Amino acid sequence: MPEIKELVKQLADKHGRNRESLLPILQGIISEERYISDFAMTEVARELDMSAALVYGTATFYSFLDTEPRGKYVIRLCRTITCDMKGKKQILRTIEDLLKIEIGETTKDKKFTLLETNCLGWCHKGPAMLINDDAYTELTPEKVSEIIGDYMKNR
Amino acid sequence: MPDKRLKRVDLIFSEDCIYKDVLTKALNKSKEDIIKEILDSGLRGRGGAGFPTGMKWKFTSEQTESEKYVVCNADEGEPGTFKDREILTRVPHKVFGGMAVCGKAIGAKHGYVYLRGEYRFLKADIEKALDQFHKTLKEIGSDFQIHLLMGAGAYICGEESALFESMEGHRGEPRNKPPYPTIAGFRKKPTVINNVETLVYAFMICNIGSKKFHDLGTADSRGSKVFSVSGDTPIPGIYELELGMSLETFVEEFGDGDTKAVQVGGASGFCVPRKKFKDTIIGFEGVPTGGSMMLFNSSRSMYNVLKNYVEFFEEESCGQCTPCRVGCQQLKKGIEAVKKGEKSAAYLDSLQKLADTMKITAKCGLGQSVANSFSSIVDNFKEEMIY
Ligand SMILES: Cc1cc2nc3c(=O)[nH]c(=O)nc-3n(C[C@H](O)[C@H](O)[C@H](O)COP(=O)(O)O)c2cc1C
Ligand code: SF4
Ligand code: FES
């Protein structure tokens, strides 16, 4: 917990302590922690001198500001139509088999979370997914196994 | 009907302009001259709604407040659109150039790029390009400054007033309009908000002159446009084409020989079936598009397509107003019930009425445009919705 306190303070020093600093600060917490805990939200509220309800209301609006514990690597697979047409379901099945989790779940070792998301802006190269900030495109079952295998082994 | 043949254009990505010279030339013009150039070109917004860019700049320039802003909308969330990412990757300095020219025209000292969270991997490169750009501006003697802000995964934040809310640190909930951004935008100050592509065209018009741009396209749709082509096509990708071609011409080039429908303008756009390709012009006089062109061949179920779109809207609705929040849920439940046979085919008519009601009662463009894809798919592919 002291680390979170320190992180929030650092982020507030960097981005400021007004309403416009709120999103950059919450994004900064995500970069470090992958999710924003209740404790982190109250810390932000205290640091910016606003109600925790406002922080909660803002954080929960945005799908990338997760408020539930997430793995170190968050996989977001595109579920929109053209990726779906290019074989997204097979990719999903491959990832689920590999990590033994379903959509919305996190692996026991807290390394991976699997989520679905809407169009990622790579429709000409579907199926597409993000792992944290990095985009992976033109996925095939083989390719996605290789990518995730690499994360499992080397990161 | 004027059907232009398919003509490739290379204004956006071409590197044949000496960018610092163009910027110097443009920034040395008077604000009246800049606005006149953009007005004369006939450029209309490339983000979807197609508002005349020169008018937007003119209205904002006429505001007497001292604080004004230029915002670049890089939230690109419409399904099937990926051109803004490509533009920001390949020619970011032209986007910034358009912002600086706009700043000069309206009297703004600060510009903001709002980049969708899904494109965070571009952040470092854009920041580097911004540093370089600010150096160039300094050499020219301009103190215009551009800041980069990141979105966090919400399609609705592409709607201009939601985007301002998000920039101000709030939930991305659209505001009532009017007042429009030209009067009360970011921080409730007069603001020009333009799509990434619009800003590049504005910059290029400063280079080639309004006439060359105006000579391209049709009376209602001047110039060229960057198309994002995906779905059942042998050549998916990004293409800059002259405006005014028919969908038939488009499909001849990009189809796989078996195209049954094209969704023009993304989930919030219109679905055009094969029999209407010939008579449909792609542009503001026909079917407008922010760039998204999704092709479907006869192996695809249009029910699945519609269901995917409705799920998209249900998820991305900000939930602020009832017609949209409840309407999207009901449309989804409704088409599922008809497909399963729990409801009769006539129920589709009630659903269409609901979509039409959303068109006039929803607070923002998201809820208002659900009827576009809903009605155009249900009307043209009714059997597929039932059997
Ligand atoms: C739900 C919704 C999402 C939108 N998303 C975007 C977007 O991602 N990018 C964009 O440029 N315009 C988007 N728009 C349109 C903007 O509200 C606005 O009209 C546009 O940025 C104006 O720029 P332009 O005149 O250069 O097109 C969206 C509108 C709505 C209603
Ligand atoms: S129409 Fe939908 S997205 Fe727009 S304000 Fe209403 S609920 Fe929000
Ligand atoms: S549909 Fe998947 S990236 Fe656009």
| C-beta atoms surrounding A153 within 10 Å | 7
Domain membership flag for residue A137: yes
Crossing angle between the packed helical segments B31-41 and B196-208, to the nearest 10 degrees: 100
Residue A148 resides in a domain: yes
Angle between helices B31-41 and B92-106 (to 10 degrees): 120
Those of residues 10-69 in A touching chain B at CB distance below 8 A are: 18-24, 26-27, 57-58, 61-65
pLDDT at B225: 97
**Domain co-membership, A149 together with A94:** yes
What is the distance of C-alpha B60 from the center of its chain? 20
The pLDDT tens digits along chain A (155 residues) read 779 999 999 999 999 999 999 999 999 999 999 999 999 999 999 999 999 999 999 999 999 999 999 999 999 999 999 999 999 999 999 999 999 999 999 999 999 999 999 999 999 999 999 999 999 999 999 999 999 999 999 88
Domain annotation covers residue A68: no
Q: In this model, does residue B2 exceed pLDDT 70?
A: no
pLDDT at B4 over 80: no
Question: Which among A61, A95, A112 is the end of a domain?
Answer: A61
Q: Note the ipTM here.
A: 0.97
- Rounded CA-CA distance A122/A78 in Å is 9
Indicate whether A44 and A84 sit together in one domain: no
All structural domains of chain B: 19-214 (3.40.50.11540), 302-386 (1.20.1440.230)
- Integer CA distances (angstroms), A39 to A1, A14, A49, B79, B345, in order: 8, 20, 15, 36, 52
CATH assignment at residue A91: 3.40.30.10
Please state, in angstroms and rounded to a whole number, the distance separating the CA atoms of residues A150 and A5. Answer: 33
Q: Is cis: bond before B179, omega within 30 of 0?
A: yes
Query: B292 with B263: CB under 8 angstroms?
Result: yes
Q: B327-385, pLDDT tens digit by residue?
A: 999 999 999 999 999 999 999 999 999 999 999 999 999 999 999 999 999 999 999 99
CA of B112 to the centre of ligand 2 (A): 24
Question: Is there a contact between B244 and B289 (Cβ–Cβ < 8 Å)?
Answer: no
Residues A49 and A11 in one domain: yes
User: What per-residue confidence (pLDDT) applies to B96?
Assistant: 97
Q: How far apart are CA A72 and CA A14, in angstroms?
A: 24
User: Do residue A81 and residue A104 come from a single domain?
Assistant: yes
Contact flag B169-A23 (C-beta cutoff 8 Å):
yes
- Asked if residue A93 belongs to a domain, the reply is yes
> Considering the domain boundaries, does residue A67 fall inside one?
no
Distance from the CA of B357 to the center of ligand 2, in angstroms? 13
**What's the alpha-carbon Rg for chain B, to the nearest Å?**
21
CA distance A128 to chain B (A): 12
Helix runs in chain B, H state only = 19-27, 31-41, 53-62, 83-90, 92-106, 123-140, 160-167, 196-208, 210-214, 247-254, 302-316, 322-340, 347-361, 365-380, 382-386
Residues A15 and A86 reside in one and the same domain: no
Examine the fold and report which residue of A61, A84, A106 is the final residue of a domain before the chain moves on: A61
Question: Do residues A49 and A91 both lie within one domain?
Answer: no
Verify whether ligand 2 is closer than 6 Å to residue B327 (CB atom): no
Question: Does A126 map to a domain?
Answer: yes
Q: Which band of pLDDT confidence, cut at 50, 70 and 90, is reported for residue B268?
A: very high
Distance of CA B351 to the CA centre of its chain: 27
Atom 1 in ligand 2: which residue has the minimum CA distance?
A: B367
Return the pLDDT at B3. Answer: 64
Say what the pLDDT of residue B227 is.
97
Contact assignment for B316 to A18 by CB distance below 8 Å: no
Contact B121 A81 (CB under 8 A): no
Substitution target from B112, B230, B292, B318 for chain A, most A beta carbons within 10 A: B230
In chain B, what percentage of residues exceed pLDDT 70? 99
- Give the pLDDT confidence of B278-324 residue by residue, as tens digits: 999 999 999 999 999 999 999 999 999 999 999 999 999 999 999 99
Which ligand number lies closest to the CA of residue B151? 1
Task: Tell whether A101 and A38 lie within a shared domain.
Answer: no
Decide: B253 and B43 in contact? Cβ < 8 Å: no
Instruction: Give the pLDDT score at B18.
Output: 79
Q: How far is B157 from chain A (nearest CA, A)?
A: 10
Is residue A141 a part of any domain in this protein?
A: yes
- pLDDT, mean over chain B: 96
> How many Cβ atoms from other residues are within 10 Å of residue A4's Cβ?
18
Residues A81 and A123 in one domain: yes
Q: What separation in Å is there between the alpha carbon of B185 and the centre of ligand 3?
A: 30
Total domains in chain A come to 2
Question: Is residue A136 within 6 Å of ligand 3 at its C-beta?
Answer: no
In this structure, the answer to whether residues A55 and A101 fall within a common structural domain is: no
Residues A79 and A150 in one domain: yes
Same domain, A80 and A125: yes
Which residue range is the domain that position A124 belongs to? 73-154
Using a CB-CB cut-off of 8 Å, the residues of chain B touching A120 are 118
Q: How does residue B272 score in pLDDT terms, banded at 50, 70 and 90?
A: very high
Residues in chain B with CB shorter than 8 Å from the CB of A18 are 169
Residue B229 has pLDDT above 60, yes or no: yes
Output the 3-class SS for chain A: CHHHHHHHHHHHHHHCCCHHHHHHHHHHHHHHHCCCCHHHHHHHHHHHCCCHHHHHHHHCCCCCCCCCCCCCEEEEEECCHHHHHCCHHHHHHHHHHHHCCCCCCECCCCCEEEEEECCCCCHHHCCCEEECCEEECCCCHHHHHHHHHHHHHHC
Residues in A touching B312 (Cβ below 8 Å): 80, 118-119
**Contact flag B82-A121 (C-beta cutoff 8 Å):** yes
Task: Give a yes or no: residue A66 inside a domain.
Answer: no
User: Is B231 close to A82, i.e. CB distance below 8 A?
Assistant: yes
Q: How far apart are CA A32 and CA B34, in angstroms?
A: 45
Lowest-confidence range among A57-71, B16-30, B174-188, B225-239? B16-30
Task: Report yes or no: A121 at the B interface, CB cutoff 8 Å.
Answer: yes
Amino acid, res. B68: K
For B84, phi and psi rounded to 5 degrees? -65, -35
CB atoms within 10 A of CB A72: 15
pLDDT of residue B5: 81
Domain-ending residue, one of A39, A61, A83? A61
Residue B16, pLDDT > 80, answer no
Of B228, B223, B205, residue with least CA distance to B44: B223
**Max Cα-Cα span within chain B:** 69
**Whose structure tokens read 């009360």?**
B184
Residue B74 has pLDDT above 80, yes or no: yes
DSSP annotation of B298: T
Picking from B287, B215, B356, the residue whose alpha carbon sits closest to that of residue B1 is B287
Same domain? For A55 and A80 the reply is no
| Predicted pLDDT of residue A154 | 86
Distance from CA of A134 to the nearest CA of B (A): 6
